[in-house]
Amino acid sequence: MKTQQLQLKKPELEVKGLNKRYGKGCSNCQTPEMLHVKDNRCQHCGSVWACIDVNFELYKGEILGIVGESGSGKSSLVKSLYFDDAISSGSATISTYKNGEVNIFTESAQQKRYIRNYIMGMVYQNPYLGLKMSFSSGGNIAEKLIASGTFHVGSIRDRARQLLEHVEIPLARMDELPKNFSGGMQQRVQISKALANNPPILLLDEVTTGLDLSVQARVLDLIRKIQRDLGVAMIVVSHDLGVIRMLADRTMVMRHGRVVERGLTDQILEDPQHPYTQQLVHSLL
Ligand SMILES: Nc1ncnc2c1ncn2[C@@H]1O[C@H](COP(=O)(O)OP(=O)(O)OP(=O)(O)O)[C@@H](O)[C@H]1O
**Looking at residues 129-136, what average pLDDT do you find?**
96
Confidence category of residue 7, pLDDT binned at 50, 70, 90 = low
Percent above pLDDT 90 for the chain: 84
Compute, in angstroms, the gap from residue 241 CA to the centroid of ligand 1.
19
- In order of their start, the domains of the chain are 3-284 (3.40.50.300)
Mean pLDDT of the chain: 93
Per-residue pLDDT of 35-46, as tens digits, reads 877 789 999 999
Long-range residue pairs from 242-249, CB within 8 A, at least 24 positions apart, any chain:
242/284, 243/65, 243/208, 243/216, 244/65, 244/67, 245/269, 245/284, 246/220, 247/63, 247/65, 247/220, 247/223, 248/63, 248/64, 248/65, 249/1, 249/62, 249/63, 249/64
Give the pLDDT mean for 60-66: 96
Q: How far is the CA of 75 from the centre of ligand 1 (A)?
A: 7
Q: Whose CA is nearest to atom 25 of ligand 1?
A: 70
DSSP class of residue 11 equals: P
CA nearest to 13, candidates 200, 259, 197, 243? 200
- Test site for ligand 1: of 72, 124, 253, 254, most ligand atoms within 8 A of the Cβ: 72
Lowest mean pLDDT among 1-5, 58-62, 225-229, 272-276: 1-5
Q: How far is the CA of 244 from the centre of ligand 1 (A)?
A: 20
pLDDT per position as a tens digit, 105-123: 999 999 999 999 999 999 9
In this prediction, residue 150 carries a pLDDT of 80
pLDDT, tens digit (0-9, with 9 covering 90-100), for 244-277: 999 999 999 999 999 999 999 999 999 999 999 9
pLDDT, residue 2, reads 54
Q: Ligand 1: residues within 6 Å at CB? A: 22, 48, 50, 68, 70-76, 206, 239
Per-residue pLDDT tens for 176-233? 999 999 999 999 999 999 999 999 999 999 999 988 888 899 899 999 999 999 999 9
pLDDT band, very low/low/confident/very high, at 51 (cuts 50, 70, 90): very high
pTM, two decimal places: 0.93
Rg (CA), the chain: 19
